Homo-oligomer: A and B are copies of this chain.
Amino acid sequence: MDNKKIEKISKALSDTSRIAILQQVKKKHEGLYCAEVNDLLDLTQPSVSHHLKQLVEADLLIPEKEGRNLKYSLNQKVLDDYIACLSSLKG
């Protein structure tokens, strides 16, 4: 994982709304729907869409189409890789 990628993931994580989204994704480990984020957090629909996009583009969330719904789940591997990079910063 290069520095550009670390930057991208960090940027995706640098917003309390997106952190909250990830926490909700954890709770519902079958996968979280876009509309659920809308209900659970106090955000408008376009704003939710924008945040989800950032998380997907950072590869932290995996989108999956289910009819007209979209189910998001955590990309554990990418999170693990990111954590490994941060760990390697330690002495």
Contact = CB atoms under 8 A, between A and B. Distances in A.
B22 A89 contact: yes
Q: How many copies of the shown chain assemble into the complex?
A: 2
A3 interface: yes
Given A29-B91, A86-B79, A91-B76, A7 B3 contact: no
A60 to B, nearest CB: 9
Q: In the complex, which range does the number of interface residues on chain A fall in?
A: 20 to 34
A16 B29 contact: no
The binding surface of chain A is classed by DSSP as: helix
B89 A23 contact: yes
Contacts of A88: 26
A26 B88 CA distance: 9
